[in-house]
Every structure is written in C-alpha cells, then in structure tokens.
Amino acid sequence: MPSATGAPAEVGALPQHAPGEPGYRRVLLALFAAGVATFTLLFATQALLPALSADLGVSPGAASWTVSATTAALALAVLPLSAVSERFGRRATMTWSLTAAVLLGLALPFAPDLGWLVALRTLQGAAIAGIPASAIAFIAEEVRARAVIGAVGLFVAGNSIGGMAGRILTGWTADAWGWRAALGTVAVLSLVCAVAFRVLLPPARHFAAAPLAPRALARTVRGHLADGLMRRLYAIGLLFMTVFGAVYTMIGYRLAGEPFGLSSGLIGSVFVIYLVGTGSSAAAGRLVARLGRRGTLYAAAGTTGAGLLLMLGGSLAAVLAGLVLLTAGFFAGHAVASASVSHAARTGRAQASALYQVAYYVGNSAGATAGAVAFHAVGWRGVVVLGLTALAGVTGITVHATRRAAAAARTATAGRAREEPAAPARAQAPASRPVPYEPTGQPISARVARTAGHTGAETIR
C-alpha cells in the first residue's frame, strides 16, 4: 500500500511502467493533462492584455504584470518545491500544486481591480511551480529508462498545447463575453484536466522519501552557480526567453493597433504559431548531429534575429512570418541549452535543471516587463531592439565557448606532441601518423573537444 507520501511500503518491489502496459498509458495521459492545465493557466492573460488595458484603464506595462509576476513567482518557487517533492512525494506535490492553481484560477474572474488580479496571478505562479518541479522526476522514477524520453516528450507536448489552447480560448471567449469570462473558461478547462490527472496517475512505486536538507540543497545550488559553464548555459536560456517573453507579451498590442486592428479572437488565433516550436524542438536533435551544439545555437540565434527584423515590416504577412521564424529559433535554442545543462551536470542534475528553469522563467518575466516598457516608450521598434540586444548576448556567450573549446583542443594536441618520443635517426619516418583513438573508437581530439566544458571550454557543441 502507498504511504502518505505516495511511496509504497516496499520501495522498488514493483516493476517500473513500460510501454504497452496500462500503467504506462495512465502515466502518459495523466502528465499530458497536467501539462495542458499548467500552461493554460500560466499564460492565461497573455492574449487578454489589450482587453485588460482597455477595460481597467491601465497601460501595457501595468497589464503585463499579470504575466511577468506569474512567471517570476514560478521561478522563485521551483527550487523550494523540488525539495518538498523529495520529502512528501512527486504525486502529492503535483496534486496539491495543481489543485491550488485551479482554485486561484476560479477566483481570477472576480478580481475587482488590477492589483488584486496581479496578486492572485502571483500566488498562482507559485502554485504552478510544483508541476515542473516534480513531473520529470516522477517519470524518471516510475517509467523504464528506454521509455523516459517518450514520456517526457508527451509531457512537453502537453505544455505546448496548453500554452496555445489557453491563448486561443481566452481570445475568442473575450471577444464574445469579456476577459472575465475568458479567465473563468480557462479555469474550468484546467479543473477538468486536474481531475483527469488525479484519477489517471497511478501511485508511486519507486519513490523513497528523503528528509528536507536545506543546507545540502544550498551547497548543491552554490556548486552549480560557481561553475562557469553552468552559468553560461543559464544565461543563454534566460536571454532566449527574454526575447520570447517580450515578443509574445507585446504582440497582442502590435496586432490590435494600427494598421492591423485585429480582435481579441484573431489575436488569440495567432498563437497557433506556438506549434512551430514543437517541430523545431524535435528538429534540434538532428541539427546538433549535423552542426554541433554551438553551431545549432548560432543557427537558432540567427533565425530568431531574422524573425525580429522581419516583424518590423508594415504588412500582417511579414509580422506573422517573422513570428514563425522567431518561434522556431527560440525553441531550438532552448532545447539545446536545456539539454546541455543535463549533459554538463556531474552531480545534482535535478537541481541543475531546476536552476535552468529559474533562469528561463526569470527571463520570461524580465522580457515581459522590459518589452512593455520599450513598447510604451518607442513602440514595436523598442521591442525589436530589446530582442536583438538579448540575442547579441547569446551570440557573445557562444563565441566565447567556441574560442575556449578551440584553445583547449590546441593545448591537448600540443601536450600529446610533447609526450611522443622522437624517432631514432636511422629509422624511416612514417608517411603519416593516424589520429590516436580511444578504446571506444573515437578520436582523442574529439573527446577533448567534447569534454572540455569542465576543463576550460564548453560542452555546448
């Protein structure tokens, strides 16, 4: 029988869930529902910002706090809730987090003014944090290793679909009945998803409760933050998300104003472009195989920058095409940076990933706020300049990584040359010397370039 923490009495006595089994299908469906609910709630107000400004008589900068405060609270709560899930169980943490987020969502339509709306959204962001803090760990513990990637992929797909569906649903509902009805509709949809999640998710079989250890957690976090490579990866995620947060928060105002004048419903429909990110995230693996990690980051930053510049055009087609490019570039860059964090972390991978999420959502919050300020000051050009500045930071970090990797490779090659004894004078020198190989069949120089991230260069390759 499961314990109060969600762990069985004999941890590991039952096998992990495998594809083809009813328990595996239940895990997939439950976490898909949780992903839909999470991102439907998280970005519920993003398509409604022009309506909020008009109805409440507030500026774009003030209205944007209904997005930035939510993501900032999520960023701050991810690490503490990851520790809570270690003590009380992933299933319990996700259940209580989703329940609190839905209840706060049901209260949002009754907010009397912007202050109350932002306060409720802040609490909601903190509640939502329990899902990303626990979901991947639950999958890793309860699903067989060969099926983990597929299970994580479906959870991420739920995030993407929830983010898109929430924006589209709120846009069209606001057109018909106003923004309060739109937020109520999103809350009801999320309630249905939360019930499905709780009913479908099987009890944990392999969770073992660990005591809360704030000092150990702090040591692990300090270790990751002291690592130059990890800091650079976190910065890349933050900067990419700054661009994305600024553009997606302000695009509603751009499309509602002249010369476009789109309705809330049509603005919400534009967010179907979000699905482009699903494709580019999947394609990132193939790009890395062809271009390397750093090459893919260059390509992602270039694609995102091209999208920003195209969105300066005066036609709706140019703006939408630019948004497609920006979305594709952002998700490819995010996929490479987040995967590099897991690849580079030698210990405390859960905390390393949680810190990346902190940086990611801080970037979203900063982008939404700074984007609103820039838009209010100089219009859409300000948002574009902000985005290009952030992308310059991504490019600079990647160039720095490229140079460090090249320097490490040269140092390793010179070291091998010094270690090789000179050939006797009477011996005939061979025409050429093959590249030394590891027992794995991989050239040593390739190994040095790949692992140089913790010896002076980057692993983002």
φ/ψ (deg, to 5) at 11:
-65, 130
C-beta separation of 147 from 16 below 8 A: no
Distance, CA of 82 to CA of 217 (rounded, Å): 10
C-beta separation of 187 from 102 below 8 A: yes
Q: Say which CATH superfamily domain 216-417+441-461 falls into.
A: MFS general substrate transporter like domains (1.20.1250.20)
Structure letter (DSSP) for residue 453: G
95 closest CA partner among 230, 227, 7, 199: 199
Per-residue pLDDT of the chain (461 residues; tens, 9 = 90+): 344 444 444 455 677 787 778 888 898 889 889 988 988 999 899 889 999 999 999 998 899 999 999 999 999 998 888 888 888 888 899 999 999 999 999 999 999 999 999 999 999 999 999 988 788 778 778 887 777 756 766 677 777 788 888 888 998 999 899 999 999 999 999 999 999 999 999 888 877 777 777 888 888 889 989 998 899 999 999 999 999 999 999 999 999 988 999 988 899 889 899 888 777 776 777 788 888 888 989 999 999 999 999 999 989 999 999 999 999 999 888 888 887 886 777 777 667 878 888 998 899 999 999 999 999 999 999 999 999 999 999 999 999 988 887 887 777 777 676 666 555 555 454 444 444 333 333 333 343 334 333 433 345 54
The pLDDT assigned to 85 comes to 84
SS3 of 2, please?
strand
Right CATH for 13-208 from 1.10.287.3510, 3.40.50.2300, 1.20.1250.20, 2.40.160.40: 1.20.1250.20
Structure tokens at 180: 């309060």
Tell me, rounded to whole angstroms, the distance of Cα 138 from its chain centroid. Answer: 18
Type and span of the H or E element at 459: none
Structure letter (DSSP) for residue 12: T
SS3 of 17, please?
strand
Residues 6+ away with beta carbon under 8 Å from 2: 8, 9, 203, 204
Structure tokens at 404: 């460090």
Type and span of the H or E element at 157: helix 148-177
C-beta separation of 78 from 364 below 8 A: no
Torsion angle, CA of 285/352/75/42, rounded to 10 degrees? 40
Residues 6+ away with beta carbon under 8 Å from 33: 158, 193, 194, 196, 197, 200
pTM of this prediction?
0.76
Identical fold for domains 13-208 and 216-417+441-461, yes or no, is yes
Distance, CA of 330 to CA of 413 (rounded, Å): 36
Domain borders along the chain are 13-208, 216-417+441-461
